[in-house]
Amino acid sequence: MKAHRALPLLVLFLQALALAQDNPLTPLRQDPKVEKIGLGNVVFKQTRESVWTAVTEAMTSYNWRPQTMDSAAGVVFFRDEGKWGSAWGSNNDLVARFTTKRVSRMSTWQSLVLEANLIVKTLEPHRAQVRISVKFEGCNGWQAAFNRYQSCKWEPLETNGKLEQELFERISSKLTELSQSELYPATKPDDKVISTARDQVLLFEKIAAAFQLNAPSDRIMAQLVDAKASLQTFTDSQESLVLPHFATALNKAAQQFATALNAKSDDRAVVLKAAMDSFAEGEKSFSNYQKFAQEVEPHTNAAQQLPPNGPRSSAVVQKQESLTPASTVSDAASLARTIGIQVVESDDRAGEDEIQITEVAPSSAASLAGLHSGDVIRSLDGKAVRTPTELAAELAKHSPGSQVRVRVMFQTSASGWVSNEAVVTLPQNR
């Protein structure tokens, strides 16, 4: 039988895994340097230059020598051609660890090819996104032996995401954590940027609300045309340079809203959710800038500030500060876990208790139902609720996957306080 060299990829992985055991990596969801975790991408709270340096250091820690490493474009391409291992089954452990392929004692995975693509791009001055795509191909000893070791039928192996996660964690381990002053530099925020960006958010809020209320298609299309024209003006202006990710996310949302409008009923929900997610990305970018403005000018009138989940109207309900009793902490955690909202208990104009939403998690059950920061919750399925405890107790009576009717009040500049009812579908996993 023909002798074969040991697979370099296996050696590199074993070295890297041994290093990881000596220096445990911080899980992404517990990492203060991570702002957002997406499917195949992570947003780090750092500059693009720092993240790029961390990527190159991570490549070095694996002893990888990428075929392409373009710092200007922020692109890394690595491929190991996968020479055969020295024995049948020599790569079973790697196949079991990093792919979805079922491996048993009888498996004979002898050869592997690894291909990795990384893209680093700037979202904001101190926010950089890294996208990672990993592909595996494998050949087992039976196939090689059948062809007298002259050729091998390479089989694509689906990644299970563990290698990508390890790469993200290793990149993060090379980064330093920025302070609040570094994340939000103490320079005067641009009022014109805030004003023009808020206008764009308001236009897209109306479109999202129109979809939620099943408004006529021609009305939604007219709103969409106005929003796209306004957004194009904003994109062409100097103000958009301060919020590049905001403009990109809203442009993407506009395209997806247009697609949803023309989609078949079976596909509309999926496309509409993607549009809402893109819109939420834009809102998050603007909220970051708003937070920066609040850090610099903490005494700014709250009526001029955009809540974390965007304004409900041009008149934003001012948040009422109140101390949260210890007994309501578990209720707040329950509400956040169940439908994705943060609330505060305050007094209404008559001095009665009321529940005001202070934050809505993107893509949560509450967000999909159209609830917003600033909304005041009045009832659940027709039963009045006045405190977070009462709300949490009523929600607990409903089974996962069921729908509940939430009656809310919100303030508008034209009509004052307006009542609205949202249908919230409770998540299956709570």
Residue tagged 């956040």 (tokens): 336
Each residue's pLDDT, cut to its tens digit, for the chain (430 residues) gives 333 333 445 455 555 555 555 556 788 888 889 988 888 889 999 988 999 999 988 887 777 778 888 888 888 888 876 554 556 667 788 888 888 988 887 777 777 788 889 999 888 778 899 999 988 888 776 666 665 555 667 788 888 888 899 899 999 999 988 877 677 655 555 677 778 888 888 888 888 888 888 888 888 888 899 888 888 888 877 666 667 778 888 888 898 998 988 888 778 888 888 888 888 888 887 877 766 555 444 433 333 333 434 434 333 333 333 333 434 445 555 666 678 888 887 765 455 678 888 888 877 888 888 788 888 898 888 888 888 888 888 888 888 888 898 988 877 655 567 778 888 888 876 5
* 39, 139: one domain: yes
Last residue of a domain, one of 181, 199, 218: 181
pLDDT score at 334 = 66
Q: Quick one: 225 and 347 in the same domain? A: no
CATH number at residue 333: 2.30.42.10
333 domain residue, yes or no: yes
Residues 272 and 415 in one domain: no
Q: At what angle do helices 48-61 and 162-173 cross, to 10 degrees?
A: 120
Same domain? 26 vs 167: yes
- Domain termination site, one of 148, 181, 214: 181
Q: Are both 332 and 250 inside the same structural domain?
A: no
The token duo for 265 is 């009923």
Rounded Cα–Cα distance for residues 309 and 288 (Å):
11
Beta carbons within 8 Å of 315's beta carbon, 6+ residues apart: 303, 411, 412, 413
Cα 321 to Cα 358: distance, rounded to the nearest angstrom: 10
In this structure, the answer to whether residues 163 and 198 fall within a common structural domain is no
In-domain check, residue 220: yes
Q: How far, rounded to the nearest angstrom, does the alpha carbon of residue 329 sit from its chain's CA centroid?
A: 26
Q: What is the pLDDT of residue 301?
A: 37
Which of 316, 318, 370, 371 minimizes the C-alpha distance to 342?
A: 371
| Same-domain pairing of 300 and 385 | no
Shared-domain flag, residues 295 and 159: no
pLDDT of 307? 40
Do you know the residue count of the chain?
Answer: 430
Residue 99 carries which DSSP code?
A: B
The domain total for the chain is 3
- Report the C-alpha gap between 363 and 316 in whole angstroms: 22
| Domain-embedded: residue 138 | yes
In a domain, 3, yes or no: no
Within this chain, do residues 134 and 239 fall inside the same structural domain, yes or no?
no
For 340-389, the three-class secondary structure string (H helix, E strand, C coil) is CEEEEEEECCCCCEEEEEEEECCCCHHHHHCCCCCCEEEEECCEECCCHH
The two structure tokens encoding residue 60:
């070095």
DSSP states of 280-335: HHHHHHHHHHHHHHHHH-TTS-GGGS--TT--SSSSPPPPPP----GGGHHHHHHH
Residues 141 and 261 reside in one and the same domain: no
Do 43 and 114 lie in one domain? The reply is yes
Structural domain that includes position 12: 8-181
The b-or-e profile of 379-405 (16+ CB within 10 A means b, else e) is bbeeeebbbbbbbbebbeebeeeeebe
pLDDT of 233 = 86
For the chain, the farthest-separated pair of C-alpha atoms sits apart, in whole angstroms, at: 90
Residue 2 is assigned to a structural domain of this protein: no
Q: What CATH code is carried by the domain that includes residue 72? A: 3.30.530.50
Helices (H), 27-140: 48-61, 92-98
The answer to whether 405 and 394 are in contact (CB under 8 A) is no
Boundary residue ending a domain (240, 269, 304): 304
User: Is residue 430 situated within a structural domain?
Assistant: no
Q: Is residue 375 part of a domain?
A: yes
Run of H or E including 77? strand 75-80
Residues 197 and 288 in one domain: yes
How buried is residue 25: exposed, middle or buried, by Cβ count under 10 Å (0-12/13-18/19+)?
Answer: middle
Whether 313 is covered by a domain: the verdict is: no
